[in-house]
Amino acid sequence: MTVLVLNGPNLGRLGVREPDVYGTATYADLVDRCEAVAKEAGVEVDVRQTDAEAEMIGWLHDAADAGSAVVLNAGAWTHTSVAVRDAASQLAAPLVEVHLSNVHAREAFRHTSYLSDIAAAVVVGMGIEGYAAAIRFLATT
């Protein structure tokens, strides 16, 4: 079983990007943590990041066709993109929505998600440990 871990815009800048909000762990740390947890959980993991919405939509189409489970941090697209939602809606395997920060404790525009109602689970505010929890959950489903 392969779990796709897909990250949207600005997440490649973790560690330098607003560390007071997103922590000091870098994107490379995030990838390492996902790979370590996947190994423990006995699944394969493929961790990717893009700042291009079309690329993200293509990855979601590929995951739908492959029947892969997805951990998705869509970043700002979470709050804006019907197109990313429509692509994620096509997934056959479970989707887990992850946010490093607790979006519900932040600006009002971050309280709306186009993904939460189509996700099997939502993890917010746990930093990169949220990805670990999501991968462990998907490994058991």
- Residues that are catalytic: 22, 99
The helix (run of H) or strand (run of E) holding residue 22 is helix 19-22
- Applying CB under 6 A, does 99 fall inside the site for ligand DQA? yes
**Strands, DSSP E only, in 11-94?**
44-49, 69-73
The answer to whether residues 46 and 5 touch, using CB atoms and an 8 Å cutoff, is yes
What's the token pair of residue 93? 């395997």
CA distance 49 to 40: 23
Stretch binding ligand DQA (CB under 6 A), from 37-45, 51-59, 62-70, 72-80:
72-80
Q: Using CB under 6 A as the criterion, what x/- string covers residues 110-129 for binding ligand DQA? A: x-------------------
Q: Using CB under 6 A as the criterion, what x/- string covers residues 15-34 for binding ligand DQA? A: --------------------
List interacting residues with ligand DQA (CB under 6 A): 10, 73, 75-76, 78, 99-101, 103, 110
